[in-house]
Amino acid sequence: MEQRRGTFRKQVAFLLAVVLLDGALLGTAGGVAGSFWGTHTPYATSRGTGLAAGSVAAGSTAPETAVTADGSLAGSTPEVPKLVALTFDDGPHKTCTPKLLDGLKERNVKATFFLMGENIVGKEDLVRRMQEEGHLIGNHSYRHIQLTHAGEDAVCEAIEKTETMIEEITGVRPGYLRPPYGDWNESLECRMNLTTVFWSVDSLDWKLKNTKQIVKRVKKETGEGDIILMHDIFPTSVEAALQIVDQLQSQGYTFVTVDELLID
């Protein structure tokens, strides 16, 4: 349900440059520049700063260490948590989303949900619950269409409508947008005062619909600072997400909402 498009070439290249300059090239970011489908593309754009930075801390900020005469490590070497973000698009879903929320709550994990306006109707309680349980709620527009084909006014209206729906339920106006299919361009961006969030690991959960395969793929692709794309509208995705949490937590990862990974 999500697909990269060539319109982001410039942004990708730019972020890659930012990341390189920062010395924080993520282990898997090498495949970014030429590919827009199914590869790591760790970036986000921020309306506020005009640039974006899906770049994340841990890789570039590990403290220097020194070895003392007796071979032990000197200075402070506090454990830098390995941060990762789970994101769920296209919901809320009547049965899958509550199940996911239960599992996340049991594990004390916070995630990010990019909600589709038309799916919110009748499921306001789930939206309220997401907020009460500490998840970040973002905007996935009103319907699942390619925004660059819709015309600027229609796009802004659809996004605005979803903003208002969420705000009326939670009292908080979402600050983050994930365009359906990752389909976006700069002319749309200049109208919306939202931070656009893409992803760096595509679980392909919508296509695989197989818990084991989703878990395997995400585990293989994920490193620190990654933003994992999933959809809380399939039972296999919910089951996979919870297994991913358990397995990555056991490897020392901490799950955070995307606002904790993005610099804006």
**Which one of 89, 90, 205, 226 is the catalytic residue?**
89
Nearest distance from C-beta of residue 246 to Ni ion, angstroms: 25
Q: Based on CB atoms, which residue is closest to Ni ion, 82 or 135?
A: 135
Q: Single out the residue of 181, 185, 197 nearest to residue 3, CA to CA.
A: 181
For the four alpha carbons of 103, 106, 110 and 116, in that order, the dihedral sign comes to: positive
> Is 226 considered catalytic here?
no
Q: Based on CB atoms, which residue is closest to Ni ion, 59 or 180?
A: 180
Q: Based on CB atoms, which residue is closest to Ni ion, 118 or 260?
A: 118
Nearest distance from C-beta of residue 59 to Ni ion, angstroms: 28
Residue nearest Ni ion (C-beta atom):
89
Binding site for Ni ion (CB under 5 A): 1, 89-90, 180
- Which token pair is 101? 């929320």
Nearest distance from C-beta of residue 71 to Ni ion, angstroms: 52
Nearest distance from C-beta of residue 106 to Ni ion, angstroms: 26
Gap between the terminal Cα atoms of the chain: 27
**Which one of 93, 135, 140, 231 is the catalytic residue?**
231
Contact assessment for residue 87 and residue 112, using Cβ atoms and an 8 Å cutoff: yes
Q: Based on CB atoms, which residue is closest to Ni ion, 7 or 249?
A: 7
- Which token pair is 234? 């399939």
Query: What is the b/e burial string over 118-140, where b = at least 16 CB atoms within 10 angstroms of the residue's CB?
Result: ebbeebeebbebbbeeebbbbbb
> Is 90 considered catalytic here?
no
d(CA 144, CA 257): 23
Active site residues: 89, 231
